[in-house]
Structure formats: structure tokens, C-alpha cells
Structure 1
């Protein structure tokens, strides 16, 4: 059987086909998006109709690549980058373009909501998370205050993935994994926050979608689309997946206490739990995975940028960087790199810059600089692990979303203090959406295969990448992490970071 995953990103829509019998991806395609032009600074908007055209184009390409296998397509599901809100009128027409992908229009409204509820601590107490300008809550508040005529016409409010899922199936609804990113969903209670909704606009309560159980489909693919795509029989449409939750499933993280280190550009350290473990210090985000469990996510902005800067500076390939890392001793001869080149989320230093500390006449070598950059990132993961441990997480190992190389993997194991192992293949949220579609289909067929079983079957690890921590080096990196965090704190409090 084939299952389609659809991912709506800022730059493009991507679609893949997953064969559950061979546990392999059988086809891929993509279609680009464009941002609307002529907008003021800080505004980024897209036409939702463009997503639908892109889905249609990419699905057709995937089905053409599948050839005769298109007849075995049994389900599909959608994930999307978080943020934004699609506003529909009583005739289900889109009222205005969607503010998305870093649009700052609702920054003032986000601050207004924060002030009303006692700042970030008050909102975290209420919902589990703070919010920002990209959240549905802030953007709906902006719409009411700045475009009241549009707000008066509004009858439905949807996330990006729910809007596309509605187009596919004709059925409304949302998953907890999607709702948790909206800004006004009480994650521990798994319900919309009526208190927050009433402050933004009481009439909004009737516009929000009903929740869908994790293993229940949204519906079946509309006849018109099935006919246009040449698909026969019922094709189930999954409930939809929040992007972060879909990424967890794609890495095989489906059981409580499992932890993943995402080594992508906007990476994270995230742990799964039966309930919701809220970070009241406001560094970790909480959400719901595709099975309804909770997760705590420590976002990190510089996982790739710091090592990449050193690599480009030296004109190195990735293999050259790995070689330099392997040939340089732990501690980089005293160099300590605070790799906050793009600001940082954990620790919360959004306006920070990078810092290289401890330079002497002899230690500023290419190898030491490479080691310091890699260690700076690894120490960030170690700090994230310490925060997860504060909340009760005790992982037996950490899965990596990609192979970090022998030296890089060993560095992460030593910094984290637990074994690390890379996931084979990868696939990210797009794969996770297809896996959700498969799990939902199995449940509809009466088969006792849940998300844990699908993850266990579909996702394997590369045992050759497994690295075990060295106790002595872990102690060393714990001390170094303390120095890094102390230095960042002192500089931040002094107004220098």
C-alpha cells in the first residue's frame, strides 16, 4: 500500500509516496510558492489558493512517477510550517492572504496579549506556551483591530494544514498536534483556552475547528479530486499533523521518554512524555505528538550555522571539517565558542551574537576553531538535556536526525552523557505525515497497529553511527557547559549580548 505525505512549507509544497510493505519512499515531487509583492517591511503573505495548486501539481507528479502503483494509494495526510491563519467566510471563500513565515504585523497584538495575562509566565501557566506574532491568537487579534470588515465576515479559522485537509476531504477539524501551535490551546488540558479566546474575541469560539482523535481520519478524499488524480476506491485523509510532531514520528520517536536531537538548521532537542511537562522557565515549548502524547521541545537556531561558518571560512568540505574535528583535542586548547550567530532560543537570547573566548597567541588554529564551533553547538544540546532532565526526562539514548560523522557523533554522546545513534534515511515532517496516514488507515481496517508499531516498523537506526559516551569527557563537558552558560548570562545581564 502507498501513502502520501504532503508538506506545505514557506518556499514550496512537497509530496512523497511511502510504501509500507517495503518501508521505503517510492516517489517525491515538489512545487514552489511565491510571496506576495508590494507589502510593507515586516509583512510576508501568501495566497492559500497557491498551496492548493501546488498540492495538485505535486500529487500529480508523484502519481505519474508511481505509474501502476497509483492504484494502491490508500491514504494521505498533511503537515505544514506552524503559524498563520486561513480566514474563510460563510461560503468558504478565503477572505484575505495569510500572514506567515516571519510576518511581524501582529507583534504588537502578541505583546498586548502577553501583558493582559501577566507576561510569558502567565501565558505559560495558562496554556503551556508563550506566544509570538506568528500565532493564530495574535493574528486574529490583529485582524479584528486592523481589518474589522474582514473580521466581521469571518466564519471559520484554520491552520495551513487544516485548510488543505479541508480542501482534500470536505471535512473540518484539527489535531491536537496542530492546535498546540496556535497560541490559544491549553496543551495540558488538550482544549481551546476559552479565557484567552474571550480576550481576543468571544465570537471566535464558534469559528475554531473541533478536535479530531489522533487515530481518526478527517474523512475520505473528495470524489472530484480522486477522479482528477485517477485514484480508485476510498483514499483516507488523515487528521493532519503539526510539523514538529510529524518530525518526531519520522525519527521513530513514539514512546514516552524517547528523545531526539534534530541536527537541521533550526534544530532542537525534544523529549516525549505521557502527560505534558511544562517548562515554567519559558525556554522549552510544549506540544502534542501524533498519538496524543506530550512533548517538550528545546529549540536551537545555530546547529548548522556555526560549523558552516568555520567550514566556509577555511574553504573546507564537510569531510575536511570532520577531519579537523577528529584531529583536535577536546576543549580546543582553551577556545570557547558561544555560537549564537542567529540569536538563540535555548538559552533565550534572541538578539545575541556569536562570541569566541579564550584566544591566545597560539591557539587560534583552524583545527581549534572547528573544534570550538562544534563544541559550542554540542554544549547547547547539553544545556537542553539538562533542562529536560530537570523536567523528569531520563532517556536511555538520543536519536539524531542525521549522521553527525564519527567525531561529531562522539562529541554529542560525550556532551549529552548518553549514547547517540542516527536514524537511517531521514525524511522529516513530510515522512511523518505519510506515516500518520498509514497509522490511521490501519486503524480503519481494524488492525491493531498504532503509531508506536508504525514507527518501529518504518524507522530504523544506523547502528554503525552509534556512539557511547566517555564518562571523563562528559564530566569535562559538563564543566565547560557551565562556563559557557555563565559567560552568556554575565554578558547578557551586562547588555553585551
Structure 2
């Protein structure tokens, strides 16, 4: 058996996978986000351990025999977070998360140094790890001085699982410290932020072994025999491994808390000016490009909280037949935006509201706004030299047929929906655990799932969606000066 552990923003998911890649069982445990100030987003790393233990205890209660047979563990997790540890591996402060924008000034300063884009192939976004450390150095100097190791979220779980300080290429690529082309830490960039290689974990490929499960945990979980922990992957690369998006030209669209349009490549193809991310993939010798929006299903969840109706009920109110866009337009910039604007201060808006605007119109506008933000990502990928012919939908929001129809029509691309909804981030992590434990060929393991259905663009509504997208594009520069 192989165990995938996915540390998300809203919870930890664990998944047991058989050698034939059948999903045996899964369990989840929720997490909360602390927002102490505007633009801040934090979690306590010890809560991740508690949530992981709770999820695994759920597996043990119902599937003790299967859990006892685990031979490999793969890790995936939310990217860019800064876990600061002292010399005794004690956590010095809450983890600053990926969607925390407090370090936008520090990010702009680092980005103005041409070495960062040249070496990393990326803009220094406020959500990345390096500007967070510069912010800590400026505002919490005693904590910065006490910092002996900087770990990414999933790698803090690895430290608990194995006792090792290790990371891997796909997650490290989102720190602004990695030489993405050569897949190694950059001493130049570390020095520019007051750090050295000694502050960083060792690096392996996502498919390689990266420690062994501690005996104490193996005994507690009833696991017999040695268990290899794989390098694993950042959440998007892990999703790609689960979806089989590992060869050049393959692409997926993740409709989760954040939104990602992800394309695998077999070459290093940086184009930071387009605000597209160019990162290492979890498989050796591969890279990927992606556009990122910060509030995808988060936008619908926000509306759910405002209206008191569940996100599922809001979606169900629209039915399954796609409507032409109304006069209401939503900009989904609830916590700033990455691609294509790289704007930490911009905030969301509704425009075009009138007396006839009801809850369903607001829901429709939110879904269309997220779809148009994905269209922005598609255009940015095209500028970066990546042309897509179709995408696979993954993530919780992909359960909404209406939303997928809106996205397919906004992108003017077919959207494939896989048969197995469990082939997500935790499944990709379990696949990496299998590869690391057995030495299996990554390409033969990370295959695409069968497709249940394909959602084609609604041709009769293409012109209406193009007009609405043009209106959407005009709104960002119109509100930028008054919302930030």
C-alpha cells in the first residue's frame, strides 16, 4: 500500500492507494486560517501535525490492515509558506501562507533586482517565500536572527515524519531562491535576502526517497516494515502527477481555493514578463508553466458566507443550462491577484448591479468572473509560448457542471472531466510514494485517468462571452486606482 498526504489550506487529506493504483480509502481533517490583519494569512504548523494524525487515525479505525501494509508515503502541500525553525527545530512564529500579501513591498524590491528573474525565471510575487523572510527580517528581527532552517509546509510534515530537513524541486521553485533551470539553490539569491544554503533543506527530485518513516510513528499507526517517504511535490505538481499531466502539451485546470492553469513542458521556458510561473515539475528533467488566480472557489465560498446559502446550493440554483452573461461583472480579486496583474493590493468588485439583480445573478457573475480570470491565464500562457488544445478539470469546483460550461466557453477549449474524482493532489502524492519506494518508471505510473465526459464550449454563446470578457478586461485598470 502507498499513502498520499496532502496538506492543503483548508484541511489535510490522506489517501491509501493499492499497488494497482486503486484508491482504497481516504480521510480528511479540517484546518483554519488566521487573518490577524488585512492581507495576512497564517497557520500554526503544529495544527498540521494534529490534523494529519486525526486523518490517519480515521484510516486506521476503518482500514487498519491496509494501513499496516504501507511501504511508501508521498507528500504534497500548499506552496510558498514560510515555516521558521530554531536550532532545536522549534517553530518560531506562525507560518506565513501562500495567499498572504503583507510582503508586497519587499517582493517589489527583490523583483527590481534583475538577478531574481534571470535565475528563477519568475517574477518575485508577494506570496513567494523569499520576500516573507525579508519582511520578517525588517519587522521581527529577533525571530529572523533565531531562524536556523526555513521549510515549506509539506516539508515541515516531513521533518515530523522522518526527522529530515529535505525538500524537492517543484516546491522549492516557488521560493524565489531556486535556480530553476539547474534545479539547485542559488547562493546569490540567498545572500541577497540575508540567508545561506545552511538555512535551506537538502534537495531531491519528487520521485526520489527523502527519508524513512520514524519507528515511533510506524508503531503508533500499526505499520510493519520500513516505509520510504518520497520527495513529493508542491500541490500543483502533485495534482499534475495525479492527473497524468507530465508530458509536454498536457494541461489541467484546477478549480480549488485558488485557481491554476497548468501545462507540462519538457524544457525550461521562462517568460516572467507575462506573470506566468515557470517551475520545476516533480519528475526529473521536466518543468511546467502555470497561471495562478488567488481566489477561485474561495470567491464562491465568500458569496456563500455573505448569502447564508451553501456553495453547492448556489451552484444548483443556476441549473445546468449555461446562460448568457448578464450586466453584472465580478472581479475575483479578494486577496489580490497573481497572473496576469501581479497586484497584491487590488481588491474584488461587482459592477452592473441593478434592482433586478438577485442571488442567482450574483452567483452567475462570480462563476463568470473566475472563468474570465482563467481566460487571462490562458492568454498569458500563450504569450509565454504555450498553446493549449484542451484542459482537464480537477479540484472541488469541477463538480459544478454550470461552472465548467462557463469556463469551457470563456476559454473556447474543450474541458475533460475524469471518471475518478479521487485522482487529485493526494493521489498524485501516493503515486510519488510508490515510485520512490519501488523505483518504478514515473511515466508508466503517472498516466492520465479515463475521461467520463467532455464539456465543449457553447458555440451559440461565444460572442456573448467574448463581449463580457472584454468588459471584464476593462474593469481592472478602471478600479485599480480606487481599490488599492
**Both proteins in one fold, TM over 0.5:** yes
User: Are the counterparts in 2 of residues 413 and 469 from structure 1 also a CA contact under 8 Å?
Assistant: yes
User: Are the counterparts in 2 of residues 129 and 282 from structure 1 also a CA contact under 8 Å?
Assistant: no
Give the equivalent residue in structure 2 for 1:411: 406
Give the equivalent residue in structure 1 for 2:417: 422
Deviations 1:43-84 (A, max 9, x none): 766554454444344334323321222332111122232233
Give the equivalent residue in structure 2 for 1:15: 14
Distance (Å, rounded) in 1 between the aligned partners of 2:51 and 2:338: 32
Distance (Å, rounded) in 2 between the aligned partners of 1:255 and 1:206: 34
User: Are the counterparts in 2 of residues 106 and 138 from structure 1 also a CA contact under 8 Å?
Assistant: no
Unmatched segments (≥5 aa) in structure 1: none
Deviations 1:27-56 (A, max 9, x none): 424375796x9x888776655445444434
Secondary structure at 1:206 match in 2? helix
**Cα gap change, 1:353 to 1:409, in 2 (>3 Å):** closer
Secondary structure at 2:381 match in 1? helix
1:436 aligns with 2:429: no
Distance (Å, rounded) in 2 between the aligned partners of 1:307 and 1:103: 17
Alignment size in residue pairs: 476
Give the equivalent residue in structure 2 for 1:114: 108
User: Are the counterparts in 2 of residues 159 and 178 from structure 1 also a CA contact under 8 Å?
Assistant: yes
User: Are the counterparts in 2 of residues 113 and 138 from structure 1 also a CA contact under 8 Å?
Assistant: yes
Give the equivalent residue in structure 1 for 2:56: 59
Give the equivalent residue in structure 2 for 1:175: 168
1:247-266 superposed matches below 5 A: 247-266=239-258
Distance (Å, rounded) in 2 between the aligned partners of 1:146 and 1:410: 46
1:194 aligns with 2:187: yes
User: Are the counterparts in 2 of residues 283 and 298 from structure 1 also a CA contact under 8 Å?
Assistant: yes
Q: Structure 1 residue aligned with 2:70, among 70, 73, 87?
A: 73
Q: How far has the Cα of 1:17 moved from its partner?
A: 1.5
Secondary structure at 2:324 match in 1? coil
Distance (Å, rounded) in 2 between the aligned partners of 1:127 and 1:151: 23
Secondary structure at 1:114 match in 2? helix
Q: How far has the Cα of 1:310 moved from its partner?
A: 7.3
**Cα gap change, 1:477 to 1:199, in 2 (>3 Å):** same
1:238 aligns with 2:237: no
1:28 aligns with 2:27: yes
Q: How far has the Cα of 1:496 moved from its partner?
A: 6.4
Distance (Å, rounded) in 1 between the aligned partners of 2:446 and 2:124: 31
Distance (Å, rounded) in 2 between the aligned partners of 1:151 and 1:159: 16
Q: Structure 1 residue aligned with 2:388, among 395, 398, 404?
A: 395
Secondary structure at 2:64 match in 1? helix
**Cα gap change, 1:29 to 1:473, in 2 (>3 Å):** closer
Distance (Å, rounded) in 2 between the aligned partners of 1:34 and 1:328: 34
1:33-52 superposed matches below 5 A: 47-52=44-49
Distance (Å, rounded) in 1 between the aligned partners of 2:32 and 2:264: 33
Secondary structure at 1:26 match in 2? strand
Secondary structure at 2:406 match in 1? helix
Secondary structure at 2:73 match in 1? strand
Give the equivalent residue in structure 2 for 1:223: 215
Distance (Å, rounded) in 2 between the aligned partners of 1:305 and 1:226: 36
User: Are the counterparts in 1 of residues 39 and 102 from structure 2 also a CA contact under 8 Å?
Assistant: no
User: Are the counterparts in 1 of residues 251 and 261 from structure 2 also a CA contact under 8 Å?
Assistant: yes
Give the equivalent residue in structure 2 for 1:453: 444
RMSD over equivalenced CA pairs, Å: 3.7
Distance (Å, rounded) in 1 between the aligned partners of 2:269 and 2:407: 24
Deviations 1:325-367 (A, max 9, x none): 65565344xx25133361443342542332334x789x85777
**Cα gap change, 1:229 to 1:271, in 2 (>3 Å):** same
Q: How far has the Cα of 1:208 moved from its partner?
A: 1.6
Q: How far has the Cα of 1:472 moved from its partner?
A: 6.1
Q: How far has the Cα of 1:10 moved from its partner?
A: 4.6
Secondary structure at 1:346 match in 2? coil
1:129 aligns with 2:117: no
**Cα gap change, 1:4 to 1:387, in 2 (>3 Å):** same
Deviations 1:436-487 (A, max 9, x none): 11222231xxx4x31x332326x33322xx1223556445534542342134
Distance (Å, rounded) in 2 between the aligned partners of 1:340 and 1:360: 19
**Cα gap change, 1:52 to 1:481, in 2 (>3 Å):** closer
1:462 aligns with 2:452: yes
Distance (Å, rounded) in 1 between the aligned partners of 2:154 and 2:435: 18
Give the equivalent residue in structure 2 for 1:93: 89
User: Are the counterparts in 1 of residues 332 and 369 from structure 2 also a CA contact under 8 Å?
Assistant: no
User: Are the counterparts in 1 of residues 253 and 261 from structure 2 also a CA contact under 8 Å?
Assistant: yes
Give the equivalent residue in structure 2 for 1:271: 263
User: Are the counterparts in 2 of residues 162 and 240 from structure 1 also a CA contact under 8 Å?
Assistant: no
Secondary structure at 2:252 match in 1? strand
1:309-328 superposed matches below 5 A: 318=312, 321=315, 324=318
1:273-352 superposed matches below 5 A: 273-292=265-284, 293-304=286-297, 318=312, 321=315, 324=318, 329-332=323-326, 335-340=327-332, 342=334, 343-348=336-341, 350-352=345-347
Unmatched segments (≥5 aa) in structure 2: none
Deviations 1:269-295 (A, max 9, x none): 222212233343353223222114222
